[in-house]
Structure 1
């Protein structure tokens, strides 16, 4: 597989990196080599995965990794998890793709402990960088464990997130886990607007905050109301059973290698 540094090292160290063009260069190399890699894609929610999946599945086999212990309260985490599963199911049915789903354990206490001392940081500041690192490390570790070619994140589709920082963190994380990070800036090329349009087409729930309790409080989000709405939404829903067919399956080749 292609290491992002094969492309990064050829750039002027003082120039701002266009991560969208970097991804396009890597995809062009896959196509020239007739390669269709396996990508473990971190997704924080269904809206961020919409256009991201539409784009990546043209060139790769993608499994969504829902690793988001930052989401508060638990009922909202569960609602977003179900909506993510349903979107993957509907997307596969409409496009004849075979995107799979995998979920990390929900460990909010561990996440809060990691954010200690950063509670009052502004949105987009130091706390966000640590949060990106916290989640991308989990994705990289799982990608190595399961034999994926790349790990990536759908976070770069959001205009509210700093794609430069997300990608810098991803490149740093790949060195720790000996994994291949896939750079991106999915909001480019009208990607964010396409995600908005796809949410309307697929009737996808769009949340009003990233999930972080500290950011939500600063934004004045009524978390009690969010909790009531999420609990009501979740009644009678079991995504693991309803969408069992999209759950990630370890193929025989992976089992032999392990």
Structure 2
């Protein structure tokens, strides 16, 4: 039976009553984070965690990270959100996907990339004493919420931090992220992030198959 992760998240939120627990949010980019923060900040004390060793090149990593300095001060719902960024470490990504370099975008290589980012976020959440962790990745229509939620749950149980289930693309979350990105003048990238997705995007554009604005790091 297909799981409705949006409803699962709503059930967790309902159980919180008046509590506002801490949550570490693995953020792929500011545009996707905008709509997610709008949902979460009413219920959690959120710290955004920019851990994305997949992003290539380093200048792109820094450009995407800098967008949070535009979003967080401008968005009224993000008034008490804190920002935490990991050092740029592409070796961690290449180690995680070794042997999967030829996999198509959206395949096994991406799954291992998700696993790495969720695992390191869970570890950071445990280290810093957060009650929950989750990811913005489910806001993208290009990402399988079931894969991400199963990975998050497994990682959370292994590390000892509660994973918040989600499917942020529901209730037009992705459309909302586009609207907020335009409102705050955020840079919206045109490839997922890694060198492999960048090549595939360029190839699609050259062949006339697309390649436009994926918004799916």
| Shared fold per TM-score greater than 0.5 | yes
Deviation at 1:190, TM superposition (A): 1.0
CA RMSD of aligned residues (A): 1.3
1:228 aligned residue = none
1:9 aligned residue = none
Gaps (5+ residues) in structure 2?
Answer: 205-217
Deviations 1:7-33 (A, max 9, x none): xxxxxxxx11110000000101112xx
The answer to whether residue 79 in structure 2 is matched with residue 97 in structure 1 is yes
Give the direction of change, closer, same or farther, for the CA distance of 1:130–1:98 in structure 2 (3 Å limit): same
> Which has the higher Rg, Structure 1 or Structure 2?
1
TM-score normalised by length of structure 2? 0.91
1:168 aligned residue = 150
Deviations 1:176-199 (A, max 9, x none): 101100010001011111111101
CA distance in 1, matches of 2:164, 2:59: 31
1:59 aligned residue = 43
Could you say what secondary structure the match of 1:159 adopts? coil
TM-score normalised by length of structure 1? 0.77
Aligned residues between the structures: 204
Deviation at 1:221, TM superposition (A): 6.4
Q: What does residue range 94-243 of structure 1 map to in structure 2 within 5 Å?
A: 94-95=76-77, 97-220=79-202
Q: What does residue range 43-54 of structure 1 map to in structure 2 within 5 Å?
A: 43-54=27-38
Deviation at 1:85, TM superposition (A): 2.8
Deviations 1:13-62 (A, max 9, x none): xx11110000000101112xx21110000001001101100010111110
The answer to whether residue 17 in structure 2 is matched with residue 21 in structure 1 is no
Deviation at 1:96, TM superposition (A): 6.5
Structure 1 segments of 4+ aligned residues over 6 angstroms from their partners: none
CA distance in 1, matches of 2:168, 2:148: 12
